[in-house]
Structure 1
């Protein structure tokens, strides 16, 4: 059991807090849409519009809250934001109109995106150097375990299908969020960064960091392949049984939970991170070709190809995420980690917003050619990482030497 735990220190309470909060996230991912439509009475279009508007406001939250973490210290700010988010989420239980839903969802998403940026600043403050990558990898494993467990709890509510069962799950989400926030108080306090002369929004002026962040957003589109494109692809374009739509998700979740920490061990600097991301792009290309090939075989062949494709995709994801962990930290200036993590978090948020539309246009809209185009995109972006990261690292070193 001890081998499953991180070494004694700040990572242990962070891991427990992550596990608890992600159980709540997995729970809501399972029940929220059905609750809003069946219990509150909103239409699918209203739910989609509300979440889109909330997501747009959320994009504006990461950088300011990250900057505030630099100025005030990330630990207490993270706890405050997490408690405020839990308190606001309680209102989901009593909303009854679209406008109430929109208001609550917007506040929750803004606090969620802001707290994520602050959380990354907290990790940067309590874990140093190459250990940051291992810490992020371990926390991502906890995330997958928590989301899976939360989905199982959500399934209990779905089996009952009553308004009370849904509301009890929202209540459990709030309780888990409060406990997770309080657990973070066991993490050592990180001192605020001293004020320095020069521009305030230094991360937004760092062209090297912004360029790598843009590439990270471009390749992170692959996260939507498993949960957005694959279910419809399997059901509508292959001879595999419908239950096979869940197979790639299971392979991916299990692979990340078990192998994320191991995959991060060889990534120790920006050069190795860029090369790992280049390899990830090529693996993602191969997996897209395999997913497309699943439409050409009989049922058993299609299932086997889906398993292989998901395994290759997961290998690419493990390398890409590990490289992202290091680049997001190491290309940032230490005195503004919160602000930089806000920029990095914004890049991934943009990716998650546009990815469903790209899935609809390419693999689901064009079929096999769309899969090939998508895979080529991942490979191209992965290859670009090496020269762009080299350029950004040179700029980062020059700034550090001047400072």
Structure 2
């Protein structure tokens, strides 16, 4: 990659498609809850329940649709899923009752989660080796930029606070999502993987090494929710820091990820280096949790300083952990079943996202300073475990490849 624009090749349309779709995501993240609450008339409890149920259904989509990507080719399937999400998302504008909201949310979540696994398989098919890590890192930086831009545009709807303004955001999201799906057609068609006549179909679910690494990664990925879930309430209820500090910490995270995600992926070239990077991330996350906890014990200046420093240390850990995750999700999976394996990895991440709010409510928000320390130790322990577990998983994979070759 040269500068901000990737070199000619599959990554360029992937980057543009990612930017457009994430701008749309940013729009809906900003306005959707308020639209369903203020315009449709659903309660916050109904919205939360509906999204939780839809999320549970979404867990069922990643693995089978990822497997379908292996058998049929990921590019065309991703375009079909992305286009379907774009069109069906407009059904939200017809919602008038909770049950209608639930039905639309379930269908869209299934398609969207499945599309995520297919997209990961597509990236794996058009990149190789360390190029996969660099590509995922670049696309993650693009994702942050797109969501930030989308949130800024969505703020206009919040300013006007009318039904027309909110609905315009849904239509704009649909147009952006549909455009991003068709842009993927610029990538050459990826040939389906040949179907093996021997052995079980769902090999990813039988790969204990891969499942163990995915589970550890999901446990550490709880940290992604810290700034969104725990920090706002911690700042307001337990520190002397002003409320605008919450926004400042989010800005720190967004800027650092956008500028340094690609750079942080350099040097992560194999499972061993990825595991070591994740171990380092665990120690950094422990330090950041301790800094957040310390912010409750000082005045305004001390609280702001510790919170900002904690956010900076956390995002450095986040960069290392995410880069290691990118490599491990691909390198520990056989090439002929990347879609199925990416479905497993994506499902583990979805579970982490669902569990994280409860963990944060029980630990830092429930126990205070001791809860922050327990959470930090959790991240550090997982980081330490990564090295031997990844070594074991890589050895198992090598033995399987050797056996099949023989």
Task: Map Cα deviations across residues 217-251 of structure 1 (whole Å, 9 max, x no partner).
Answer: 10000000011100110011000111111121111
* Distance in 2 between residues matched to 1:303 and 1:30, nearest whole Å: 26
Partner of 1:295: 296
Counterpart of 1:212 in structure 2 is 213
Q: C-alpha offsets along residues 312-353 of structure 1, whole Å, 9 cap, x if unaligned?
A: 000000000000000000000111000000000001000000
Work out whether residues 247 and 306 of structure 1, in 8 Å CA contact, stay in contact via their aligned partners in 2: no
In structure 1, list runs of 5 or more residues that go unmatched: none
Q: Deviations over 1:135-165 (max 9, x none)?
A: 0000000000000000001100000000000
1:156-179 residue CA offsets vs partner (Å, 9 max, x unmatched): 000000000000000000000000
Q: Name the CA distance, whole Å, in 2 between partners of 1:320 and 1:193.
A: 30
**What is the aligned partner in structure 2 of residue 41 from structure 1?**
41
Supply the distance in 2 between the matched residues of 1:167 and 1:27 (Cα, whole angstroms). Answer: 11
Which residue of structure 1 aligns with residue 386 of structure 2? 385
Report SS of the residue matched to 1:3: coil
Maintained 8 Å contact 1:16/1:180:
yes
Equivalent position of 1:339 in the other structure: 340
Which residue matches 1:29? 29
Aligned residues: 403
Q: For the residues of structure 2 that align with 1:156 and 1:134, how far apart are their CA atoms?
A: 34
Cα distance in 2 between the residues matched to 1:306 and 1:292: 9
Q: What secondary structure does 2:41 align onto?
A: coil
TM-score of the superposed pair, with normalisation by structure 2: 0.98
Task: Give secondary structure in 1 for the equivalent of 2:353.
Answer: helix
Paired position in structure 1 for 2:231: 230
Would you say the 8 A contact 1:288–1:371 is kept in 2? yes
| Matched residue, 1:84 | 84
1:41-80 Cα offsets, whole Å, 9 max, x none, are 0000100000000000000000000000000000000000
Is 1:151 matched with 2:144? no
Rounded Cα–Cα distance in structure 2 between residues aligned with 1:86 and 1:214: 31
- Matches of 1:296 and 1:255, distance apart in 2: 27
The correspondence of residues 290-329 of structure 1 with structure 2, limited to 5 A, is 290-329=291-330
* 2:186 paired with 1:176: no
Q: Conserved in 2, the CA contact under 8 Å of 1:18 and 1:142?
A: yes
Q: CA deviation at 1:2?
A: 5.2
1:121–1:337 Cα contact (<8 Å) kept: yes
Cα offset for 1:3?
A: 1.2
RMSD: 0.8
Q: Which residue of 2 aligns with 1:277?
A: 278
Aligned to 1:108: 108
Give TM-score, length-normalised by structure 1. Answer: 0.99
* 2:145 maps to 1:139: no
Distance 1:163 1:386 in 2: 52
Aligned residue for 2:366? 365
